[in-house]
Structure 1
């Protein structure tokens, strides 16, 4: 599946929203195992749309939905009295075309509503995004660095953390400065860290190919201010805009 970043993000959104045809959905599911970018995009889409799921009440579509939509549509042209109006169970070619058009319009409305809701929920975009992988190349976490002393970390794998240990997030703004802690992840899968401020601020804006990593450190964080434990995952950032 040769697609650019925009196409992958759009496909991930459509898959999560259930807008793909069954065959397309199966293709995406098969491709996820081979394409880490697609897998990461789908995980990000699920988390992004989660607030919409949490605030929406389940609704059952009534059997008369198509009849009500049809009745609300304006008459096209000078239709004769004998012209038959398509109904919800109309299997004629014209009826199928009408339903396909209506479905496309409904799908577009859903995408527009989701896009507007997402823009309201998330007004600041990250400057860089880093996909962190383990030694086997398996995706373990995603880091979004906003460049305003804030970074968001989303764990995509289960980590076994002993009671006397914690996961610490690091970045390497420059070889001269060395690794800087962005904060600790404790009993959570998604966290927003204010690590830049804790590190004394003065950090430059995150850049393309900047290193991010997770290490296993003593409870409370590294005692030296530098990574001392096992590296759980690491990856290089990519600029998002």
Structure 2
């Protein structure tokens, strides 16, 4: 990890770890939908933290807290966001393992946004029981999705769909479990220019039997102005 974090990295880390609440959470979520660079920072944190999320609870070794704070915030005049938001107290159980691992495992520098167009949007149901933040990375022709509310009903899975203007919905891929998923865009979807529409439905295990959404469609979102890396 880098030795110091700028304000945007700190905010992105707080959002990815789940520390933000109330107005701070709403402001960060709104910024993800309107600021692709900030959304990319959140995605970068989530990708780095994801492999550590399933670590079993453990007691941090003596001095781990001080070592972590010193490594991330070497300037004594700066108040660490861990202390400002009570992170050490907030990280319990498996989350403590994440903090300890961050102190002793070298994950490398935070990956900067890849060159090329990035598009962030939110897919939300009309009644507010399901929300997903989507980041479309045209440099890699993939979409990274994170659920912030709701889930598929028991015994069902999520399926991601997309299409261009006046085109039928096409499956991007299945989202069987987990809060986040990265899916490669099919060639026909990667070739869309102009408005790209993303949607999510709940389907039986194995996906829709019809090749089109067959269960509840939680919501869709239109992303205008989509281009490619060579445009």
Residue pairs, 1:1-241, within 5 angstroms? 13-16=9-12, 29-30=22-23, 32-33=25-26, 36-38=29-31, 45-50=41-46, 58-60=64-66, 99=77, 103=78, 117-119=110-112, 123=114, 127-137=118-128, 140-147=131-138, 148-163=140-155, 165-175=156-166, 177-196=167-186, 201-203=187-189, 205-207=191-193, 209-237=195-223
Deviation at 1:13, TM superposition (A): 3.7
Does structure 1 conserve the Cα–Cα contact (< 8 Å) formed by 2:197 and 2:223?
yes
How much has 1:170 moved relative to structure 2? 0.6
Separation in structure 2 between the aligned mates of residue 52 and residue 181 of structure 1, nearest angstrom: 27
* Residue matched to 1:75: none
**Aligned equivalents of 2:220, 2:206: Cα separation in 1:** 21
Contact 2:160 2:199 (C-alpha < 8 Å) held by counterparts:
yes
Q: Distance in 2 between matches of 1:160 and 1:204?
A: 26
Number of aligned residue pairs: give it: 173
Runs of at least 5 residues in structure 1 that lack an aligned partner in the other structure: 1-9, 19-24, 62-67, 70-87, 89-98, 105-115
CA distance in 1 between counterparts of 2:47 and 2:201 reads 30
Q: Is the 8 A contact 1:128 1:207 kept in 2?
A: no
**TM-score (norm: length of structure 1):** 0.53
Q: Is the 8 A contact 1:150 1:195 kept in 2?
A: yes
Structure 1 residue 230, shift from structure 2 partner: 0.5
Q: d(CA) in 1 for partners of 2:164 and 2:214?
A: 18
Structure 1: distance between partners of 2:27 and 2:141: 34
Could you tell me the TM-score, scaled by structure 2's length?
0.55
Other structure's SS at 1:48 match: helix
Q: Tell me how far 1:193 sits from its aligned partner.
A: 1.4
Larger Rg: 1
Deviation string 1:8-44 (CA, Å, 9 cap, x unpaired) is xx965443457xxxxxx99x84254478513757886
Contact map agreement 1:167 1:215 (CA 8 A) in 2? yes
- Displaced runs of 4 or more, over 6 A: 41-44
CA distance in 2, matches of 1:193, 1:51: 13
Structure 2, gaps ≥5 residues long:
1-5, 53-60, 68-73, 80-108
Q: Which residue does the alignment assign to 1:108?
A: none
The question of whether the paired residues in 2 share the 8 Å contact of 1:170 and 1:180 is answered with yes
Check conservation: 1:32, 1:38, Cα contact below 8 A: no
Give secondary structure in 1 for the equivalent of 2:111: helix
Judged with a 3 Å threshold, the aligned counterparts in structure 2 of structure 1 residues 47 and 202 are, in CA distance, closer, same or farther, namely closer
Query: Is contact 1:36–1:139 with CA below 8 Å preserved after alignment?
Result: no
